[in-house]
Amino acid sequence: MPNHVSVSIVIPVYNEEKNLQIMRERLLPIMQGLGKSFEIIFIDDGSSDNSLVMLKEFSQNEYIKVVELTRNYGQHAAIMAGFSVCRGDIVITMDADLQNPPEEIPRLLKVMEDGNYDVVGTIRKGRQDSFLRILPSKIINMVARKITGVEMHDWGCMLRAYRRKIVERMISCHEHATFIPALATVFGKRVTEIEVSHEERYGGKSNYPLPKLVNLQFDLVASFSDFPIKLIMYGGILLSFLGVCFGIVLAVARLAYGASWAAEGVFSLFAILFVFVGMQFFALGVLGEYIGRIYAEVRKRPEYVIEKIHSAKGKE
């Protein structure tokens, strides 16, 4: 591998044995066709299938490096691990499942170089996912934009290019539960977005069932704003206000219609009580989410632990 690297490709891998071979076959010629020095870094995020074995074999190739993590740390932590190892002036992240076509890389690079951008984000065009996977994403994209104030139109597409200085700024954050595209958008001065095509997952199935997706989005919201806590506060004020109004209505009704009327309202009171109790639990849950994240930060455990870096012998 040459000493100076122009472009690094960073790919997190979690149980992608069905996709890796074809990924490599499509990616390598494209990178070689660029006429630039490059490296491809796969991060094995604690896969339990055959992925690591395949990747180790890939690492015999002079352009490919494989970072083996000790366990599953999640997509964004895995990318951070890749960032810590990569050396390119421009760093491109992408998924291992071929949903981001490697054929888009030259265009991404061209936009970055022509416009002298720090970050080139992407918007998925003709997204090939199930309706149930797209709908939550759409809502999430909108809410995320409003809440965090970060102008990004597609938060989920990982095919993105970053300049070295942005990558270094992100590494120096040492944040747990982070959301890389948002972080980069905040850290870069010249940021743009282009449309890229999106394909169906080649093999296997998505690693993001709904609960994991919800958790990831909470990471996003919690690490960029205190909006949920504010929401509880305003909600609380509104609820107490409504409660007082309701009390007044009950008192007036009691005076106007007598005690027999009031007793018949007992069950509706129960219903209202349940709503409030539910709200309180919800509020506690949100607070708990934040406390859990603070706890993770305070413990100062590393966001990921690298077991070993595999590369061809004598390559460096």
Task: Enumerate binding residues for Mg ion (CB under 5 A).
Answer: 95, 97, 99
Give the C-alpha distances (Å, rounded to integers) separating 261 from 2, 266, 272: 86, 10, 17
Judged by beta carbon, residue 97 or residue 219, the one nearer ligand UDP is 97
Order across the sheet with 38-44: list the strands: 191-197, 119-125, 160-163, 90-93, 7-13, 38-44, 64-69, 306-310
Question: Residues 15, 207: contact at Cβ < 8 Å?
Answer: yes
Residues 130-152 as b or e (16 or more Cβ within 10 Å = b): eeebeeebeebbeebeebbebeb
Rounded Cα gap, residues 170 and 292, in angstroms: 22
User: Of these partners, Mg ion, ligand UDP, none, which one is at the site of residue 14 (CB under 5 to 8 Å by kind)?
Assistant: ligand UDP
User: Which residue lies nearer to ligand UDP by CB, 133 or 254?
Assistant: 133
* Binding partner selected for residue 96 from Mg ion, ligand UDP, none, CB under the kind-specific 5 to 8 Å limit: ligand UDP
Cβ nearer to ligand UDP, comparing 208 with 218: 208
Q: How far apart are CA 311 and CA 43, in angstroms?
A: 12
Least distance from C-beta 197 to Mg ion, angstroms? 14
Partner in contact with 45, chosen from Mg ion, ligand UDP, none, beta carbon below 5 to 8 Å by kind: ligand UDP
Nearest distance in Å: CB 156, ligand UDP: 6
d(CA 130, CA 146) in angstroms, rounded, equals 25
12 interacts with, out of ligand UDP, Mg ion, none, CB within 5 to 8 A per kind: ligand UDP
Q: State how far the Cα of 300 lies from the Cα of 63, in Å rounded to an integer.
A: 34
Which residue, 107 or 201, has its beta carbon nearer to Mg ion?
201
Kindly tell me which of 97 and 193 has the beta carbon lying closer to ligand UDP: 97
Q: How far is the CB of 172 from Mg ion (least distance, A)?
A: 28
The separation between CA 283 and the C-alpha centre of its own chain, rounded to angstroms, equals 24
The listed partner (Mg ion, ligand UDP, none) that binds 208, CB under 5 to 8 Å by sort, is: ligand UDP
Annotate 5-40 with three-state secondary structure.
Answer: CCEEEEEEECCCHHHHHHHHHHHHHHHHHCCCCEEE
50 binds, among Mg ion, ligand UDP, none (CB under 5 to 8 A by kind): none
- As measured in angstroms, the least distance from the Cβ of 80 to ligand UDP is 11
Cα separation, 186 vs 144, whole angstroms: 14
Residues that bind ligand UDP (CB under 6 A): 12-14, 16, 45, 72, 74-75, 78, 95-97, 99, 156, 206-208
Q: CB–CB of 119/192 below 8 Å?
A: yes
- In this complex, which beta carbon is closest to ligand UDP, that of residue 6 or of residue 215? 215
Least Å from the CB of residue 78 to ligand UDP: 4
Please report how close the Cβ of residue 224 comes to ligand UDP at its closest, in angstroms: 19
Q: Which is nearer to ligand UDP, 72 or 84 (CB)?
A: 72
Distance CA(301)–CA(296), nearest Å, equals 7
